[in-house]
Amino acid sequence: MAPLEKADLLQGTLDLLILKVVALGPVHGYGISQRIRQISEEVLQVQQGSLYPALHRLEKRGWLAADWGESENGRQAKFYRLSAKGRKQLVAETETWDRLSRAVANILQTAQ
C-alpha cells in the first residue's frame, strides 16, 4: 500500500502508536520508526521530525522512561520503555481510539 502523507495521521495518533510499540518492550527511536512502518505494512512512515519531539514530550510527561544501553549493532542507544503511568495512558487512549473509529465506521456505513 502507498504510504500516507504525514498530515493524514490524526492529531494524537502518533502518541498512541508510540505508546503501543514501546509497550512491546524497550526500544530505541530508530526501532520505533521501523516497527511502526513494518506493522502498518509500510502505510505509516513516521518522520524523524515528528518522532523525536513526540518521544521527548512523552518522556517529559512521565509516560515513557528512558535509559542508555547497547543496541543490537553494539552502539550506545537511548532505549524507551513504558512507565506505569504510560501503561494507564495507553489503555485510556486505546479506548478513545476504539470509540472514535467505531463512530466513524458507523457514520460511513449509514451514509452508503
Report how far Cα 43 is from the mean position of its chain's Cα atoms.
14
* Cell numbers that stand for 95 in this block: 479506548
Q: Quick one: 65 or 94, whose CB is closer to another protein?
A: 65
Find out whether 63 and 19 touch, Cβ atoms under 8 Å: yes
User: Minimum distance from CB of 33 to another protein (Å)?
Assistant: 8
97 binds another protein (CB under 8 A): no
Which of 16, 39, 18, 22 lies closest to 91, judged by CA? Answer: 16
> Which positions from 22 through 81 interact with another protein, judged by CB under 8 A?
28-30, 47-49, 52-53, 56-57, 60-61, 71, 73, 75-78
Q: Quick one: 56 or 99, whose CB is closer to another protein?
A: 56
How many residues at the interface with another protein, by CB under 8 A? 18
User: Minimum distance from CB of 81 to another protein (Å)?
Assistant: 15
Find out whether 26 and 80 touch, Cβ atoms under 8 Å: yes
CA distances from 22 to 12, 17, 49, 67, 107 (A): 16, 9, 18, 13, 32
Which residues bind to another protein, rule: CB under 8 A? 28-30, 47-49, 52-53, 56-57, 60-61, 71, 73, 75-78
